Amino acid sequence: MSGNIELLSTTLAAAKAEDRAALIAYLPAGFPTVDGGIEAVKAVIAGGADVVEIGLPHSDPVLDGPVIQTADDIALRGGVRIADVMRTVREAYEATGVPILVMTYWNPIDRYGVERFTAELAEAGGAGCILPDLPVQESALWREHADKHGLATVFVVAPSSQDARLATITAAGSGFVYAASLMGVTGTRASVGAQAQELVGRTRATTDLPVCVGLGVSNAGQAAEVAGFADGVIVGSAFVKAMLDAPDEAAGLDAVRSLAGELAQGVRKR
């Protein structure tokens, strides 16, 4: 079975045709439980998310701030496994038809086996992977199997990336480019900052892929600001915090659905 890279591309293109940015939501698998995590993904989609990233919980998350680290810790202590990540992708995709990616560090894939991981992700209906710590120059094996199985390879670029480096990264990627709005880890911020707009401009000069901005967006106003210059707005920590702050799972689902609705309005007010 082939993965859903084409669905991802058409979804992002459809948002652009509507003269808006896509809303991309991030939630970790297994948080607060595997079943609860699946319901949370459905809730953000019901609220208006166009694309969802499923985080593969990892004990050494170099890009993730304290909010996502807390959720990952809950998932890991709950015994989450890669099979649960695949189940989350499968059930979310089958229930909604929305493109679902996995965001993961390289070590779990390397230990699991690249061929096994890509084959299972495609079979689950996944659209691809975001790989924040996989160097492009070491990515040939991954890209070979991802291409074979119809999966996008999304690399992360940062404000510190030089133009030549941006060109190398974007030439190797597919699906979209993940532009980190600032140097640092994930988390909500008071301001997303001008660095993001400059980075999007420099990245667009190297590629026709959509450029989507993450790290720091937490409300409709920030979503609208980023939607003014990016093809997609990526929100993670704000959704996870809404789940963490809720008194129970039902309230958490209501909170993330409501937040997705606010953000979906934001990306339409670019």
Q: How far is CA 226 from CA 19, 81, 118, 217, in A?
A: 14, 34, 31, 8
- Token output for 7: 């669905």
Reported as half-sphere exposure (CB side, CA atoms, 13 A), residue 125 has a value of 15
Catalytic annotation, residues: 53, 64
Question: How many other CB atoms sit within 10 Å of the CB of residue 182?
Answer: 17
CA dist., res. 158 & res. 121, Å (int):
27
Q: Which of 157, 165, 57 is nearest to 107 (CA)?
A: 57
Q: How far is CA 132 from CA 61, 152, 156, 169, in A?
A: 10, 14, 5, 12
CA dist., res. 108 & res. 61, Å (int):
11
Is the separation of the CB atoms in 198 and 164 below 8 Å?
Answer: no
DSSP type of residue 121: H
CA dist., res. 232 & res. 24, Å (int):
7
